[in-house]
Structure 1
Amino acid sequence: MVLKTFGWSFAVTALGLVAAVFYGGWTAFGIVAILSVLEISLSFDNAVVNAGILKKMNAFWQKIFLTIGILIAVFGMRLVFPVVIVAVSASMGPIEAVDLALTDKDRYQQLVTDAHPSIAAFGGMFLLMIFLDFIFEDRDIKWLGWLERPLAKLGKIDMLSVCIALIVLLISSMTFAANAHQHGGTHVDKAETVLLAGVAGLITYMIVGGLSGYFEDKLEEEEEREHEEEEAAERAGKPRSAVALAGKAAFFMFLYLEVLDASFSFDGVIGAFAITNDIVLMALGLGIGAMYVRSLTVYLVRQGTLDDYVYLEHGAHYAIGALAMILLVTIQYEISELITGGIGVFLIGWSFWSSVRRNRAIAAAEGKAAASDEKTEVSSGV
């Protein structure tokens, strides 16, 4: 099971590290290895959230997620995205941006750093909306009940998540963005840029997430109708046709996953510049990490881990909320990737341990109930 799921990740790791040695020697090997670990630690919460969505998709779309999806993740976000940032921020063509990334790495890093406020605002708002929609939803299983119960009641207010997100964006634009950090330690006013980028992130979430939710609801309705038709067909002895809507639902869920992964990758891409400004080493290291995140997502789905450890999804979403706020704070202040990754690992680890304790308590209760039943049977002479 492990080899089947992580086989491609192991292969890509070997190829990536060998390529790093040929490209820049053992120093490059070490940089790529560090970047891989950085990406995995920063994106573990991404894998948990992705698993919660991916488990609703069939084997075909899970395979698409691991093939086409990984191409988008590795080449799109880890290689093309930093080049696009430079091209847009410096008003140059993509070929010029690639040439700059390869020939003038310091200037390339400067342009990416200067574009960070808009990247952080876009990604921060997208992730914040994911977190807010999660905590304001009334769920049967609650992890931090003292917090989640009152928030679920507040969640009945229409558009509350959007209102809070816009308030957070407005405050960020008037505080952090007014003194945004730039390359070389300078600070400039980026309030307008942050506002526009944040609104774009919010709109992107509402469009992609809205379409995903719409088609998911339609799919559930269609599956219910399909079940009724199947029962009627069985009674009449007639065959029935497959439902085509599942493809649309799966497509938009796949699209949502890709946008979600892109938002998670922002901090990894920006954080990588603290280690190297070589775009080749960056793509190799972050690409290896992205492969493990993808494989881990599928592993969680196939093992049913989220069903066994029910608080994991809660911990991942709290980590998302923390990451969203950290991204907004980094518009003005530099925050170590160790802190960013450490918070996510702590929250997920805490939720995992809470799940283990819950499972033990349930098993103990069931054991006591079974023992009580046996005692009753014996005393009654059965």
Structure 2
Amino acid sequence: MHVRDLYDEAVAGMLARPVRSALTTLGTVLGITTLVVTLGVAATAGNQIVGRFDELVATAVTVEVPRNAHKPLVTWDAVDRLTRLRGVESAAAVSESEEGTNLSVRSNDLVDPTRVTARSLTVLAATTGLPQAVRGRMVQGRFYDAGHVQRADRVAVIGDETARMLGVTRLDRAPAIFIGKHAYTVIGILGDLGREKNLSSAVVVPPTVGSRFGLRDVTRVLVNTSLGAAGLIAGQAPAALSPGNGDMLQVISPPSPTRARDKAQDDVNALFLILGLVSLVVGAVGIANVTLVTVMERVPEIGLRRSLGAARRHIAAQFLLESTLIGLVGGVIGASLGVVVVVAIAATKQWTPLLDAWLAVAAPVAGAVVGLLAGLYPALRAARMEPVDALR
């Protein structure tokens, strides 16, 4: 049997029942469309996840400074050397200690036995670049400057949660808070923190004032870098902060965005791929069922062809080619619809659509393979029919 004749017979068999063939193809279309959409949306969503990661975490570097009994490893002015490095956008030195935690802070010096006026809060010292380093903004007032630090003014900046707990709502009358027995003027409220969100319930004072609470030495340095410069700054920061003792500092830098993107995309792909395969299996079952029904309906035709000299392989090839063509057509249509849906979803969310080129090519091939496998059993059953039994 010539290949062209085989193709003509297969196409004629498909077009003889166009509605049934269309409905059978629809199952493959839905399966391939779901597969392409899930993989495309997974890749696009994975890219967006890493995009959010890049915007904040991938540019945040933290340097942990251990305490030294002899002399501080990092001085307060070392941050100025760090900010001169190319790629550093902002940096701040922070001092925390056990003595500065759970301190009694109150908004007035009156003792009212009927209500709680004091709160146990954390007091820490920081350099003037803290708001930029923690990606926050001053909700009210301003942060203290170099003049406050040099004069050792008793000023404080409180977090927005601290302001709520202490009832500080306005700064135009220079409200004061009491830490222990001493009063400190609140000049600003810090909020909308991108990192170090624990500062929202803390009190920040200048380094020259923090020594009263045991906040003498720098314990951490918070650094924000340009996108892509975190790895370089992580290697240069110890030497800039503490020349000669850089190996004693611990640098916490973000993982590689590329690895994070791949891991996020693999996790999302694994989830959505299962859904796409389930839909594809449903389409394959539909093709197998319809092909088997077609074989049963065309038993007289099969008997006549066998009587006229058609071999078993000819009958099997005809039905296999029919089911393969149905799967191929469904794969082409499904791949096209899937690409359109992925682009539409990305446009709706204002995302950048990501879709591997091989997927658009492999989807029709997958549809053809599904059709081939689905028609295998019906084709073998048709080929095993004896001419006499089929005609009878």
Q: TM-score, normalised by structure 2?
A: 0.19
Larger Rg: 2
Higher strand share: 2
Higher relative contact order (CA 8 A, sep 6+): 1
Higher helix share: 1
Q: TM-score, normalised by structure 1?
A: 0.20
